[in-house]
Each structure stands twice: as structure tokens, then as C-alpha cells.
Chain A
Amino acid sequence: MKMLNLLVIIIFLFNFNVSNAKDRNLNSKITKNLRCLICQGQSIHDSDTEFANSLKLVVEKKITEGMSENEIYEFLKTKYGEWILYDPALNQKTYILWLLPLLLFLIGGAIIFKNLKIKKN
């Protein structure tokens, strides 16, 4: 019986740690993708300003409230706009940003392909 109790406690503790670690991972993942609006060039995760510290608390609170990563981004976007996200969504303003590398990759691939074909001939 004593062993069983011990086992239950151990299992409980381990599970507790896992869920806690998950939250922390999600927390740092989200805060790393948020731009500190005062100390630009730094993420909320790296920054230690009053604003960043408060925002970290808010993110933590929203995670414990059960909000998903995207819901938290949406929430912050309504408050501060797209600018707060380091990873911008694909839309009218950002399509060049997203599609240009792909386009360049395809053009480069086409050039290489063509050159190889010429060499073969």
C-alpha cells in the first residue's frame, strides 16, 4: 500500500511537470514571436521593459484561460495591430514578402535546369 501511494505521488508529480513544461514552451514560443513595441528589434521574450514584462503576464494568463496560440495572436492584433507579430500573416500587404523568395527559388531552379539541359545537349 505504501508503495502504491508513493507510485501515485510520483506519477502525479511527473504529469504535473509535463503539463507545466508544455505551458512554458508555448509561452516562450508565443513571446518570442511578439515584437517589443518600445525596444524595437527585440522580442517580448528577450526584453525586460515594463511593457514586455506585463505582456508576458498577459500571455501567461491567456494560456491558463485556455486560449490557443492563434487566439492570443488575434487578441493582441486587435490591440496593437499586425506589427506586434514577428511572423506576419499572408495578406494584401505582405504577399510580396511571402511569395518573392518562392518566386526567386523557382526562377533560379529554372535557370539551373535550363543550363543543365544545354550542357547535356
Chain B
Amino acid sequence: MGCSAFSKKNMKTKILLPFTIVSFLFIFFILYVGLNRSNIYIPETVTNEKIPIFKVKVFNSEKELTSNEIFENDIYYLLNIWASWCIPCRDEHPYLMELKKNKKLEIVGLNYKDKVKNANNFLNELNNPYTLILSDTDGTIAIEWGAYGVPETFLIYNGKIIKKIIGPMNNNLFKEIERVVK
């Protein structure tokens, strides 16, 4: 009796030890991988999604346009979400002015949660790179685009978003766009 109880106990410890070690290794592995992984939301920047369908007001007017009317021509479009209160928008502004010179590209601005007066001041001060400005006073149009901040820029061709830029444009991204739109 005593002998069998002893062996049973012995067996238990024999199983328990490897089991504990394996569990610890498993937890360690999960945490090691999990904690190293970035938790920050990074959207995909190369997409082939179709442009969203929406209705939007033109900036400083009562006119309404649908998305298909805006991006109807056979050229490249750059949709730039901006606001006068957005500091990084000022940084990327010279790049937009430079891109304006490209005849195969049309820059459409989406004015995000802004006051008309402030937006106009911004454009008077830094010049207007946009051929058309749309107004998104409550931020719902930006959500249709999958945007979550300002600035964000979308390169559009043939009704599809071919590139998404999160945050301000920089020299590399500027050159990339120039390369695509030749």
C-alpha cells in the first residue's frame, strides 16, 4: 500500500515538473513574441481598394458632389486631407505646391473639421495647391476613406486607391509619386 502510494506520488512529480516547464516556456514564448510586436495601428499603405462612395459638400459653397463626379477623368488624383490647425500640414505644403505643376495629376483637398475663415487664411498665406476643395466639417467623410488623422494623402487612379500616405509627405514619398505619375 505504502509503496504504491509512494510511486504514485513519484509519478506525479515526474509529470508535474515537465508540465510546469512546458507551461512556463509556452507562456514565456507567447509574451516574448506578443510584447515585441507593435501595438500601434499601422494601416496598409499599398492598397488596391476602390474609392469609397459618398456625397460631399464643396468647400465654401452649397454645391454637393458625389465621389464618382470628383474622380471621373482618366488622370491621377491626389486626395489630401488637411486642416488649418494641423501643423504637419504646413510641413508637407511645399511638396503639394510642387506636385501641382504636374499636369497629369490633380490635387483634391479635403478640409477636415476646419473653419472656413481659418482655412482661407491658411491658403492665402501658403498658396492653394488644390484644384478642388471639399469640406468635411464633422469628419465623417475622412472615415469613409479609412483615415484616422490629418494629414493623410491618397493617390488615386482609375477609381482605385493605389497608395496611401499616413502623416505628412516627405521627400521620398514625393519622389515616389513623381515616379508613378509621369
Which residues of A come within 8 Å of B, CB atoms? 37-38, 40, 50-51, 53-55, 57-58, 61, 78-81, 83
Contact = CB atoms under 8 A, between A and B. Distances in A.
5 contacts: A38-B148, A40-B41, A58-B143, A79-B143, A80-B41
B113 A50 contact: yes
B149 A51 contact: yes
Contacts of B148: 37-38, 51, 80
A24 B48 CA distance: 35
B149 A38 contact: yes
A50 B146 contact: no
Q: Is the interface of B mostly helix, strand, loop or mixed?
A: loop
Contacts of A54: 113, 138-140, 142-143
Interface of B: 39-41, 43-44, 49, 113, 138-140, 142-146, 148-149
A61 B140 contact: yes
Contact of B140 (A38, A57, A78, A81): A57
Q: Is the interface of A mostly helix, strand, loop or mixed?
A: helix
Contacts of B142: 54
Contacts of B44: 81
Given A80-B146, A81-B43, 13 more contacts: A37-B148, A38-B148, A40-B40, A50-B139, A51-B148, A54-B142, A54-B143, A57-B140, A79-B143, A79-B145, A80-B41, A80-B43, A80-B148
